[in-house]
């Protein structure tokens, strides 16, 4: 079965704006969504900046009865799916049915913690320890009735599938940047293998919440240079010292090529390869040669049945010393001499690190770059770090008309995903 897969819809929600066009325009204009954290007091944290979405109104995408069962990250995911389907010309009124799939990734691990924290105060003993006997007697008043329902990791899957009547192949992947990218790769395979004809796939996350920030603050992967504001996130730069989180969603609509052409859909790009691997080292460290990412890129190229020559790489670019240098090493190891010809960009200094949505965002950026013929620059890259000696695009966007691209993602525990994309032939798009 020789079924090819194309991208016909891009749904983005980032601190740069709502929708693919808003985020893409902001990327090319060099704007950043990073600023001081809002909504709670970040003073106890080492990292007190992030890229948060202002004025997000979930009721525009989600029925009011469902809002109380969804965390903010889930709400972003539902909104991102609606934006992607609208962008693909598949609106809310159309039942997608049993030949439609849904594949999502996120780092969600808890329900909304605010109400729980308030309730647990009531079971504290005078010495501050927890009275578990009292919790057992009063749990119905301490814990909200839907506490466990809203806490389910794939909660957004039900609401997306219910809203758009998606009844086919589906899966949820828990992880960090790798999860959303893996969801897209799995969706591509489902269509290629005939399990589905169309799929919604990608990731979403709310890592700027106080719960996630308090967990991640001491791991050493986030920058502590709060005084730099939007200039603190510096992938591949000599002064890189960690990431800045951002909240958001990146969902794509994937379709079987002939189906998309038959309905006159606009095609952003073709997705033709998917690979994964793992470093196998103790987190949050990475292997010096990024062996997991090396395997992922190699498998993606083999899956796409193409040569290593790649015009554009939407890089993970997490701005840690070992992360950046090992990513460049992996590109050299897999692309060989062709690595010098690849234009490399990380958009994280503008959107923040979207965690569960980060890899999916890179896939969207790769598709948009192939479609528009322009490669965004890497913000805050003033002087390349030692070992980061490939063609990292800096300064201004590059009009390069790329024909092939790789979208990369690396997880906190060493998981890595690579997606191969190619420009869709001229004259075959709407």
Residue 363 lies in a domain: yes
Mean pLDDT of 228-244: 97
Does residue 430 fall inside a structural domain?
Answer: no
149 has pLDDT over 80: no
- Whether 136 and 42 map to the same domain: the answer is no
Claim to verify: residue 240 and residue 353 sit in the same structural domain: yes
Residue 68 predicted with pLDDT over 80: no
Q: Residues 129, 80: one domain?
A: no
Using the predicted structure, report yes or no on whether residue 43 has a pLDDT greater than 60.
yes
Same domain flag for 143 and 161: no
In this predicted structure, what is the pLDDT of residue 63? 84
> Would you call 306 exposed, middle or buried from its count of C-beta atoms within 10 A (0-12, 13-18, 19+)?
middle
Return the minimum-mean-pLDDT range out of 36-50, 94-108, 130-144: 130-144
SS3 297: helix
408 falls within a domain: yes
Find the DSSP H helices in 70-123.
Answer: 72-87, 113-120
Q: Do 339 and 386 fall within a single domain? A: yes
- Does one domain contain both 187 and 255? yes
Q: Please say if the pLDDT value at position 231 is more than 70.
A: yes
Strand 170-174 versus strand 100-106 pairing type: parallel
Residues 275 and 132 grouped into a single domain: no
Average pLDDT of the segment spanning 193-211: 96
- Average pLDDT of the residues in 243-255: 98
The answer to whether 37 and 272 are in contact (CB under 8 A) is no
| Number of domains into which the chain is organized | 2
**126 and 95 share one domain:** no
Do 91 and 121 fall into the same domain?
A: no
Q: Is residue 429 a part of any domain in this protein?
A: no
Q: Is 273 exposed, middle or buried (0-12, 13-18, 19+ CB in 10 A)?
A: buried
Same domain, 273 and 413: yes
Range of the domain at 50: 5-108+153-423
Q: What is the pLDDT of residue 136?
A: 78
Evaluate if residue 147 carries a pLDDT over 80. no
Q: Give a yes or no: residue 428 inside a domain.
A: no
Residue 346 lies in a domain: yes
What count of other Cβ atoms lies within 10 Å of the Cβ of residue 262? 10
pLDDT of res. 122:
74
pLDDT of 7: 98
pLDDT surpasses 60 at 428: no
Q: Indicate if the pLDDT at residue 141 is higher than 70.
A: no
Q: In whole angstroms, what is the distance from residue 264 CA to residue 254 CA? A: 14
**pLDDT tens digits along 357-401:** 999 999 999 999 999 999 999 999 999 999 999 999 999 999 999
Average pLDDT over residues 292-306: 97
Name the pLDDT band for 283 (thresholds 50, 70, 90).
confident
pLDDT of residue 430: 46
The domain that contains 46 carries what CATH number?
A: 3.40.47.10
Q: What's the rounded Cα separation, in Å, for the pair 204 and 369?
A: 21
How high is the pLDDT of residue 361? 98
pLDDT score recorded for residue 305? 96
Looking at every residue in the chain, the average pLDDT score rounds to 92
- Partnered with residue 407 across adjacent β-strands are 314, 419
Is residue 392 classed as helix, strand or coil in its secondary structure? Answer: strand
Residue 377 near residue 398, CB atoms below 8 Å: yes
Read off the pLDDT of each residue in 153-157 and give the average, rounded to a whole number. 87
**103 in the same domain as 219:** yes
pLDDT digits (tens, 9 = 90+) for 396-413: 999 999 999 999 999 988
What value does the mean pLDDT take over residues 11-40?
A: 97
Percent of the chain with pLDDT over 90: 76
pLDDT band at 427 (very low <50, low <70, confident <90, very high): very low
Residues 399 and 263 in one domain: yes
Q: Across residues 110-131, what is the average pLDDT? A: 73
CA dihedral for 395, 397, 403, 409, sign (positive or negative) = positive
Residue 113 pLDDT grade (very low, low, confident, very high; cuts 50, 70, 90): low
């Amino acid at each position: 079965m020789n079924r090819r897969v194309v991208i016909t819809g891009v749904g983005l929600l980032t601190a740069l704006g709502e929708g693919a066009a808003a985020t893409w325009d902001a990327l090319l204009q060099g704007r950043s969504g990073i600023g001081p954290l809002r909504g709670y007091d970040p003073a106890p944290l080492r990292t007190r900046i992030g890229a948060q979405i202002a004025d997000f109104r979930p009721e525009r995408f989600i029925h009011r009865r469902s809002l109380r069962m969804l965390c903010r990250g889930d709400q972003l995911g539902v909104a991102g799916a609606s934006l992607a389907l609208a962008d693909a010309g598949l609106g809310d009124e159309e039942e997608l049915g049993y030949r439609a799939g849904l594949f999502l990734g996120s780092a969600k691990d808890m329900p909304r913690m605010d109400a729980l924290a308030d309730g647990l105060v009531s079971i504290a003993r005078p010495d501050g320890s927890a009275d578990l006997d009292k919790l057992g007697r009063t749990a119905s008043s301490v814990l909200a009735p839907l506490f466990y329902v809203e806490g389910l990791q794939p909660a957004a899957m039900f609401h997306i599938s219910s809203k758009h009547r998606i009844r086919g192949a589906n899966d949820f992947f828990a992880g960090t940047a790798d999860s959303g990218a893996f969801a897209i790769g799995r969706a591509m395979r489902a269509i290629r293998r005939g399990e589905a004809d169309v799929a919604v796939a990608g990731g979403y996350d709310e890592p700027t919440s106080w719960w996630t920030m308090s967990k991640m603050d001491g791991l050493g992967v986030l920058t502590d240079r709060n005084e730099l504001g939007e200039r603190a996130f510096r992938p591949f730069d000599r002064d890189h010292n960690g990431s800045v989180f951002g909240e958001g969603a990146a969902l794509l609509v994937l379709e079987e090529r002939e189906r998309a052409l038959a309905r006159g859909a606009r095609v952003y790009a073709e997705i033709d390869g998917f690979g994964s691997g793992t470093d196998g080292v103790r987190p949050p460290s990475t292997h010096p040669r990024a062996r997991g990412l090396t395997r992922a890129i190699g498998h993606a190229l083999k899956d796409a049945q193409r040569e290593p020559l790649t015009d554009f790489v939407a890089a993970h670019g997490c701005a840690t010393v070992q992360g950046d240098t090992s990513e460049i090493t992996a590109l050299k190891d897999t692309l060989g001499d062709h690595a010098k010809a690849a234009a490399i960009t990380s958009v994280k200094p503008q959107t923040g690190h979207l965690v569960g949505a980060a890899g999916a965002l890179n896939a969207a950026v790769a598709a948009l770059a192939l479609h528009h013929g322009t490669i965004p620059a890497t913000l805050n890259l003033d002087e390349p770090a030692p070992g980061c000696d490939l063609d990292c695009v800096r300064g201004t966007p590059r009009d390069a008309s790329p024909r092939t691209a790789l979208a990369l993602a690396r997880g906190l525990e060493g998981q890595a995903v690579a997606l191969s994309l190619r420009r869709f032939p001229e004259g075959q798009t709407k």
